[in-house]
Amino acid sequence: MNLTDVAQKRYAAKKFDANRVIDNEVFEQIKKLLRFSPSSVNSQPWHFIIADNLDAKKRLAMGAQGVYEANEPKILEASHVVLFCAKTEM
C-alpha cells in the first residue's frame, strides 16, 4: 500500500443518505480503531463522543451554528457521528 495514493484518494462526503446505517459489527470495529489510536507516551490526549441516534445527533448539531451551519444536515443525516475532542493541556 502506498500512503500517498491512499491520501490522494480520500473522499469528503457532502451529503449522507439518512436511510443507510452502518452495521453495528462494522461500527464496533471503528470504535476499536479509535480506542487503539497511538499517542506519544500513551498520553491519549483525546476522547470521542459518538452520536448514533437522532437525539444525540441533534445535540451535536447545536455546535454547528454560525459559520458551521452548512454541516448541520450532515450531522443529522449521517448514520453515526464521531466528535473528536482533544486535550489542550496535559
pLDDT value of residue 39: 85
Which pLDDT band holds residue 69 (cuts at 50, 70, 90)?
very high
pLDDT value of residue 17: 93
- Give the count of beta carbons closer than 10 Å to the beta carbon of residue 60: 19
CA quadruple 52, 7, 85, 31: dihedral positive or negative?
A: positive
pLDDT value of residue 8: 84
Longest dimension (CA), the chain: 41
Question: pLDDT digits over 13-64, tens only?
Answer: 888 999 999 999 999 999 998 988 888 888 888 899 999 999 999 999 999 9
In the three-class reduction of DSSP (H, G, I as helix; E, B as strand; rest coil), residue 48 is classed as: strand
Rounded-to-integer distance, Cα 72 and Cα 13, Å: 13
pLDDT value of residue 89: 83
Question: Which parts of 1-90 fold into alpha helices (H)?
Answer: 3-8, 24-35, 54-61, 72-77
13-17, 54-58, 73-77, 82-86: which has the minimum mean pLDDT? 13-17
Specify the long-range contacts of residues 36-42, CB closer than 8 Å, at least 24 apart.
Answer: none
- Beta carbons of 83 and 49 less than 8 angstroms apart: yes
pLDDT value of residue 41: 85
